[in-house]
Chains A and B, each alone.
Chain A
Amino acid sequence: MNNWRHHWRKIKSAIVSGFCLISAGVVIAPLALVLFYLLKAGASSLDPHFFTQLPKPVGESGGGMANAIVGSLTLLGLAALVGIPIGVLAGVYLSEFGSPRMKWAVRFAADILNGTPSIVWGIVVYALVVLPMQGYSAYAGGLALGFMMIPIITRTTEEMLALVPNGYREAAFALGIPHWRIVLNVVLKTASRGIITGILLAAARVAGETAPLLFTAFGNSFWSHRLSEPIAALPLQIYVYAISPYDDWHRQAWAGALVLILFALALNIGVRVVTRGRLGFFAGRRIQPASTSGPG
């Protein structure tokens, strides 16, 4: 009896372990499947024209997404102009200055904004920018993406600055350096790799966003010559092609998705290589003072 129970407990443990293993496989399977189809359907429709030509009308095969690629990069640039200064400086405030109550409020706001659905950003910027300017524009799209970047960069910057040892700050204070110079030249400089990582991750995340651009950048089948005009973006173009009933357009959508995902993955993998784990930037910094003080 006792022996039987013992066996049953072991069997139960093995069953659950098996279930956990299978679950891990099931969780990873979609990644493999998505990548497989992207490569299968995307790579075959990906040619040099894709990067150099404008989209062709229905019925004509070929064409590319040159305007959408440039458009996405433009929007990312505009977003960075909004997101990076506000995000980094707000992060500095949280880590270096700030009363407890204010810090709580900013952190709370940033966390809520982080969880705000992307479509909400779309209609908010529509009401704030598109309606007053009476037209869809690259400005509106860039602003929507920039708004999304702010909370991400704020929180990552704060985390990274918190990792800088207080000894660095105290040493700088002891030299009589003004506080703001300490923040700029000691604290931010020490954490710079971590902050850049955060910025790149934020960029990778908003680069694939479609919903905030639907009613702001709107999309454009041609080149846009001014930032006050509607502008094409890679995710938007993929969406339009994907919901169309044409096989040619579906192929273009796959190719576009492949380019988009390679861009996002490259940023992500690049970041992980640069940082080598969460504290990686710091391990690198620790080595440097030792090697420079050696010869002296």
Chain B
Amino acid sequence: MNAAAVSGKAGSPARWALAPPGKAGDKFFRLLTWLMAMMVVVLLALVGCTLWSGSRLAIAKFGWHFFVHSNWDPVNGDFGALPFIFGTFVSSFLGLLIALPLSLATAVYLTELAPGWVRQPAISMIEMLAAIPSVVFGLWGALVLVPWLQQGPYPLLTKYFGFLPFFQGRSYGPCMISAAVIIAIMILPIITSISREVFRAVPDSQREAAFALGATRWEVTRLAVLRYSIRGIFGAAMLGLGRALGETMAVTMVIGNWPEISKSLFSYGYTLASGIANEFAETTSDIHRSALFELGLMLLLVTVVTNVLAHMLIGAVGARKHAGI
């Protein structure tokens, strides 16, 4: 029975296999995938062009003045982006300043020190932290974290560091530091996981060599691991900075949304992203909307620069982690 079936069918697969495969299907499929790949490139161009054309009105009216002018007045149609640029960079760098040491130390703990049974659960938890949506951090930040910060740590900062201009005045809760703290929490997972990958890429022979010279654990970490991966650490920080600059919802909910430039970190602030999120739906004039588009264009350019730098520094590891795999 089996033999009959085989011999009966033997002819057709053989003929099918020996005939040269049709080129039409290949050509079509190749073209299809090429088109879809092209779409990715076109999409990037589309994003840039859309923002550019949306902000043309503001660019024509304000020119370079837009970047150094600090008045933001939707009623009279006078717009300067300086408070937004200031707020974005101050909150992001402050956030990075808080997050970077913590992330690096955590990554060192996870790669060099942690016992096996701690490692995997801790890594999973940090990945879960990365999966929490921005708006949930914002909700928690606005209703739990910021009221607590306002009652506990902020008065202490004023009391002991009040002589510094940064900690003068009274905080009403939402302010630049609150935003920095939320940003720090949100970029901790990405910096930690990338620096962990970077540390893991350090060859064990480096560590063994340092141990063999009688180095202590910290000396091994410092000499063999940290120094070896300095480039990757910069890359991880860059990627974290890119995230911080573009962070929208959580920041909007805790920064106070007021375009002012103040030395005190307890004052309200605004960022490029939160400015758009807060005002875009309520624009009254074309020039207002156009100014917001220009904020978006700036935001895109800044994140492109940080991301390109980050990818140059860390290469494939970062790209993979960045995609969330």
A interface list, Cβ under 8 A from B: 9-10, 12-13, 16-17, 19-24, 26-28, 30-31, 33-34, 37-38, 85-86, 89-90, 92-94, 96-98, 102, 105-107, 109-124, 126-128, 147, 150-152, 154-156, 159, 175-181, 183, 198, 201-202, 204-205, 207-211, 214-215, 218, 235, 238-239, 242-243, 250, 253-254, 257, 260-261, 264-265, 268, 272, 278
Contacts and interface: CB of A to CB of B under 8 A. Distances in A.
A31 B36 contact: no
Interface in B92-113: 101-103, 105-106, 108-110, 112-113
A24 B105 contact: yes
B10 interface: no
Interface secondary structure of A, over-half rule: helix
Contacts of A30: 129, 185, 188
Contacts, number: 300
A34 B303 CA distance: 28
A28 B125 contact: yes
A124 B277 contact: no
B48 to A, nearest CB: 9
17 contacts: A19-B105, A21-B113, A31-B125, A38-B136, A85-B36, A86-B40, A89-B37, A102-B37, A116-B47, A117-B245, A117-B273, A117-B303, A119-B277, A123-B54, A175-B17, A238-B136, A268-B127
Nearest to A178: B21
A180 B19 CA distance: 16
Contacts of B28: 180
Given A28-B122, A115-B304, A176 B323 contact: no
Contacts of A110: 40
A179 B109 contact: no
B218 A127 contact: no
B128 A93 contact: no
A118 B323 contact: no
Interface string B25-57: 110111011111111110110110011011000
B324 interface: yes
B82 interface: no
Interface stretch (B58-66, B138-146, B202-210): B138-146
B181 to A, nearest CB: 10
Interface residues of B, number: 101
Interface stretch (B70-78, B157-165, B262-270, B293-301): B293-301
A27 B188 contact: yes
A34 B137 contact: yes
B135 A31 contact: no
Nearest to A31: B129
Contact of B29 (A16, A127, A180): A180
Contacts of A112: 44, 304, 307-308
Contacts of A154: 37, 40
Given A109-B41, A111-B322, A155-B319, 12 more contacts: A34-B136, A112-B308, A115-B304, A117-B245, A119-B246, A127-B54, A210-B134, A214-B277, A239-B138, A254-B139, A261-B133, A272-B124
Contact of B40 (A34, A113, A183, A208): A113
Contacts of A119: 246, 248, 273, 276-277, 296, 299
B190 to A, nearest CB: 11
B87 to A, nearest CB: 14
